């Protein structure tokens, strides 16, 4: 038998039209790869051992997620979020094949949702802000085909605050986010912690549940270029962060805390656009990351 393909690709595009009255954000992801499923909930994520017989399976998936935001005030936007995604799981290990969430939903789910977005954005530079606030709320009802559930809804709340400390390039930033689902959300579309954009240091997908929440505080320092006292910023920078997350069946039933901390290096490929190298640590877990742009 020929070996299975193993690859993934992700693209994000942020576009500004009509003198920034219309913003269009598009995220596109494809995966054809070996993946790992630990189950649903804090206990399953923490106590299920990584291995071929306990977590391994093959995942074919895609997600197309465009968001359209129209400016209705100085910093206020309203719009819509669309989400088309599918996950097909194969080569299931024995434990996953018997998992209640997987047997309830099936290994193949195709989902489409569209819903309103309310956004406040006063950041000076969205890709790498030195100051300002981003706050967004979205509520997306979904129809699900292929799987055993036909409807579910997702509420996502995201708050980010950037504050310049003393000079340009010295930034304190924090991010609070919460996501909860209602109805028959498929196992593959549950909220997950541990991505390169939240609790860096955990395996992505190890912790998943109907409701997730986390908070992160990060300090970013871009070094100055040239001689001492120069106001010009150089290409090199460092970051450090601490945070924590939790998950559960609802906001009233959150279970367990996932601590998080890390350090990173930044290299500016052009003004305010960085390549980031991060090392994160969590509870009995650690990971390294290389990405473009900041985490949030």
pLDDT tens per residue, range 108-121: 999 999 999 999 99
The Cα 103–Cα 60 span in angstroms is: 18
Could you tell me which residues are beta bridge partners of residue 83? 113
In this prediction the pTM is 0.93
Is residue 95 classed as helix, strand or coil in its secondary structure? helix
Average pLDDT over residues 251-266: 96
Tens of pLDDT, residues 170-216: 999 999 999 999 998 999 999 999 999 999 999 999 999 999 999 99
The Cα 50–Cα 113 span in angstroms is: 33
Task: Identify the residue with better confidence: 248 or 230.
Answer: 248
Let me know: does 31 contact 59? Beta carbons within 8 Å.
yes
Which of 84-93, 125-134, 144-153, 272-281 has the weakest average pLDDT? 144-153
Domains of the chain: 7-292 (2.40.160.50)
User: DSSP letter string over 196-253?
Assistant: TTSSBTB-TTSEEESEEEEEEEEEEEEEEPSSTT---EEEEEEEEEEEEEEEESSTTS
């Amino acid at each position: 038998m020929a070996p299975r393909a193993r690859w993934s690709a992700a693209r994000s595009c942020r576009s500004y039209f009509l003198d920034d009255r219309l913003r269009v954000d598009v995220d596109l992801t494809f995966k054809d790869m070996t993946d790992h499923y630990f189950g649903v909930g804090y206990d399953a994520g923490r106590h299920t051992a990584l291995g071929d017989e306990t977590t391994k399976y093959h995942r074919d998936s895609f997600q197309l997620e465009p968001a359209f935001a129209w400016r209705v005030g100085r910093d206020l936007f309203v719009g819509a979020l669309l989400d088309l995604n599918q996950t097909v799981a194969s080569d299931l290990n024995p434990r996953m094949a018997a998992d209640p969430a997987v047997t309830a939903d099936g290994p193949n789910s195709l989902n489409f949702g569209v819903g309103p977005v309310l956004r406040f954005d006063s950041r000076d530079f969205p890709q790498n802000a030195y100051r300002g606030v981003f706050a967004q709320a979205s509520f997306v009802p979904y129809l699900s085909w292929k799987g055993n559930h036909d409807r579910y809804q997702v509420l996502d709340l995201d708050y980010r605050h950037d504050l310049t400390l003393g000079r340009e390039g010295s930034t304190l930033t924090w991010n609070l986010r919460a996501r909860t689902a209602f109805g028959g959300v498929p196992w593959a579309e549950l909220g997950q912690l541990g991505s390169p954009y939240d609790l860096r240091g955990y395996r992505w997908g190890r912790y998943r549940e109907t409701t997730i929440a986390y908070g992160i505080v990060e300090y970013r320092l871009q070094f100055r270029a040239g001689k001492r006292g120069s106001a010009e910023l150089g290409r090199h920078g460092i970051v450090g962060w601490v945070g924590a997350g939790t998950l559960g069946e609802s906001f009233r039933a959150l279970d367990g805390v996932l601590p998080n901390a890390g350090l990173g290096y930044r290299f500016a490929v052009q003004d305010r656009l960085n390549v980031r190298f991060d090392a994160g640590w969590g509870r009995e877990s650690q990971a390294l990351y290389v990405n473009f742009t900041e985490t949030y």
